C-alpha cells in the first residue's frame, strides 16, 4: 500500500463553538452553516474516494475539535495520542482516546511536557517528517519519533519555517517523491531529494492539500495550483475552504486517515 492509500478516516462533526476557533491573524468568525457545508463536502469527498468514515459527535467545549488531525497521529500499524500545543486544545485528546482504541486496540500516548500537533507531521515513503513549531516542541517530537520507531516507522525531526502554523500548512505529499510546498518551505531545504511543486504567489493556502488514493483534494480558490498538479499527471478535486481558512485550517486537518 502507498502512504496515500487509505481505507478509513476519523472525522468530527462541527459544533456551533467552532466559529470561535483559534486563529493567528484577525480573520472574522466563520459562518457556522457555511463551515458545516464545507465540512460535509469534505466528508463526502473522502467517502467518494472510497474511505469508510467514523464520524465522531460534535464537542461544543472545544472550538477547534473538528481539526481531529492535531490531537492524534495514526499509521496502519498503530495510533498515538498526541498532546496539542495550544492550551485550549489539550483536552481534545481525552475525547479521541476511545475512538482510537476502538479502531487500533493499543494506543501509545505522549507524556506531560511533550507537545505535538498532528498538523506538524507529514508522512512520506522515505520518512515521516516531524516539524518543530510553536505547537510542537523537541520533547514531543522525540517522543513521537520513538513511538513511531516502535511501530517500525522512521521519523525525522525538522524545523517548520517561521510564521507558519504547522509543517503541513506549507507542505503536502502528492506522490511517492513529489511534495506540494510554499516558496518558504521550498527555501528551507527540508525536502532535499524530493521533487517539489511550489504554490504560485497568492496561492500559498493551496499547500495544505490532501492526496487520498487517486485524487488530490485542493482548496477551490487555487486554480493555478490545480493546473500545476494536473500537469504533473494527477487528478484534482477542488473543495471550498473559505470558512475553515478563517481558522488557519486546510484539508488535511479535518481527518485522521489510514
Ligand atoms: C488551530 O489553530 O489549532 C486551529 N484553528 C486550526 C488547526 C489546523 N490544523 C491543522 O492544520 N492540522
Kindly report, residue by residue over 147-171, the tens digit of the pLDDT.
Answer: 999 999 999 999 999 999 999 999 9
**How many folded domains does the chain comprise?**
1
Measured from the CA of 89, which atom of ligand 1 is nearest? Answer: 3
Question: Does residue 131 have its Cβ closer than 6 Å to ligand 1?
Answer: no
Q: Which residues fall within 8 angstroms of residue 86, CB to CB, at 6 or more apart?
A: 22, 64, 117, 135
Give me ligand 1 centre to Cα 250, in Å.
Answer: 8
Give me ligand 1 centre to Cα 122, in Å.
Answer: 15
- 3 in a structural domain: no
Kindly report, residue by residue over 241-258, the tens digit of the pLDDT.
Answer: 999 999 999 999 999 999
Distances (CA, A) of 116 to 31, 68, 93, 109, 113: 29, 13, 12, 11, 10
Rg (CA), the chain: 17
Active site residues: 166, 253
Q: Tell me, what CATH number does 104's domain have?
A: 3.75.10.10
- 2 in a structural domain: no
Please indicate, yes or no, whether the overall pTM of this predicted structure exceeds 0.85.
Answer: yes
Question: Does residue 249 have its Cβ closer than 6 Å to ligand 1?
Answer: yes
Give me ligand 1 centre to Cα 237, in Å.
Answer: 22
Question: Does residue 92 have its Cβ closer than 6 Å to ligand 1?
Answer: no
- 53 in a structural domain: yes
Question: Does residue 70 have its Cβ closer than 6 Å to ligand 1?
Answer: yes
Per-residue pLDDT tens, the chain, 258 aa: give them.
Answer: 899 999 999 999 999 999 999 999 999 999 999 999 999 999 999 999 999 999 999 999 999 999 999 999 999 999 999 999 999 999 999 999 999 999 999 999 999 999 999 999 999 999 999 999 999 999 999 999 999 999 999 999 999 999 999 999 999 999 999 999 999 999 999 999 999 999 999 999 999 999 999 999 999 999 999 999 999 999 999 999 999 999 999 999 999 999
Residue 229's domain spans which residues? 8-257
- 223 in a structural domain: yes
Amino acid at each position: 500500500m502507498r502512504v496515500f492509500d487509505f481505507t478509513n478516516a476519523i472525522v468530527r462533526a462541527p459544533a456551533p463553538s467552532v466559529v470561535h476557533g483559534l486563529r493567528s491573524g484577525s480573520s472574522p468568525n466563520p459562518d457556522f452553516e457555511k463551515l458545516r457545508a464545507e465540512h460535509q463536502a469534505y466528508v463526502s469527498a473522502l467517502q467518494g474516494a472510497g474511505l469508510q468514515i467514523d464520524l465522531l459527535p460534535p464537542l461544543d467545549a472545544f472550538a477547534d475539535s473538528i481539526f481531529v488531525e492535531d490531537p492524534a497521529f495514526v499509521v496502519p500499524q498503530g495510533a498515538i495520542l498526541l498532546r496539542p500545543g495550544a492550551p485550549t486544545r489539550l483536552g481534545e485528546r481525552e475525547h479521541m482516546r476511545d475512538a482510537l482504541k476502538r479502531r487500533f486496540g493499543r494506543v501509545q500516548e505522549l507524556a506531560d511536557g511533550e507537545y505535538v500537533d498532528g498538523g506538524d507531521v507529514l508522512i512520506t515513503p522515505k520518512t515521516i517528517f516531524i516539524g518543530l513549531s510553536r505547537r510542537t516542541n523537541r520533547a514531543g517530537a522525540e517522543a513521537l519519533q520513538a513511538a513511531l520507531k516502535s511501530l517500525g516507522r522512521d521519523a525525522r525531526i525538522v524545523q517548520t519555517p517561521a510564521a507558519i502554523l504547522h509543517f503541513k500548512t506549507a507542505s503536502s505529499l502528492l506522490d511517492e517523491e513529489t511534495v506540494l510546498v510554499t516558496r518558504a518551505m521550498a527555501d528551507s531545504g527540508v525536502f532535499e531529494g524530493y521533487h517539489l511543486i511550489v504554490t504560485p504567489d497568492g496561492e500559498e493556502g493551496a499547500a495544505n492539500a490532501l492526496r487520498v488514493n487517486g485524487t488530490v483534494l485542493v482548496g477551490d480558490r487555487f486554480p493555478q495550483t490545480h493546473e500545476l498538479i494536473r500537469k504533473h499527471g494527477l487528478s484534482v478535486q477542488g473543495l471550498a475552504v473559505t470558512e475553515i481558512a478563517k481558522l488557519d485550517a486546510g484539508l488535511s486537518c479535518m481527518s485522521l486517515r489510514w
